[in-house]
Amino acid sequence: MIEYQGQTYQDVIGKQGLVVVQYYATWCGPCKMLKPVLEALSTEMEGTDFYRVDIDLYRNQAVEVGIRSVPTVVLYKDGEEVDRQSGYQPKERVAAWMNQFK
């Protein structure tokens, strides 16, 4: 997983293929639970880029995409948002959800 560092946002989400972005906060318990799930999937799902965006550091990006709660995971395919989920889910559910869009 790649920690978002303020680069041009379109460079992150505008890539070809599937891009997974987790919006999180350091104080969020469910965010901490979801992190190892996404880290594991990032090593298993070749050709898929995984990013994390700290909403407290990068509030503008979170507001721009309409994040209302954390954790929220947004899937982008070929630069377009295709789906999003909020809250913690076990690895099997997250993987099944993401595989719909590969």
Q: Which of 12, 13, 21, 31 does the annotation list as catalytic?
A: 31
Q: Which of 1, 25, 28, 40 does the annotation list as catalytic?
A: 28
| Residue whose C-alpha is closest to residue 94's, from 34, 47, 25, 18 | 34
Q: Which string of DSSP letters, residue by residue, matches 67-87?
A: --SSSEEEEEETTEEEEEEES
Global pTM value? 0.94
pLDDT in tens, 63-78: 999 999 999 999 999 9
Q: Residue 28 catalytic? A: yes
Q: Residue 31 catalytic? A: yes
Q: List Cβ neighbours of 20 (8 Å cut-off, separation of 6 or more).
A: 38, 41, 42, 48, 49, 50, 51, 73, 74, 75, 76, 98
Strands 49-54 and 80-86: unpaired
| Residue whose C-alpha is closest to residue 51's, from 99, 101, 7 | 7
Question: Residues 25-41: what's their mean pLDDT?
Answer: 97
pLDDT in tens, 41-61: 999 999 999 999 999 999 999
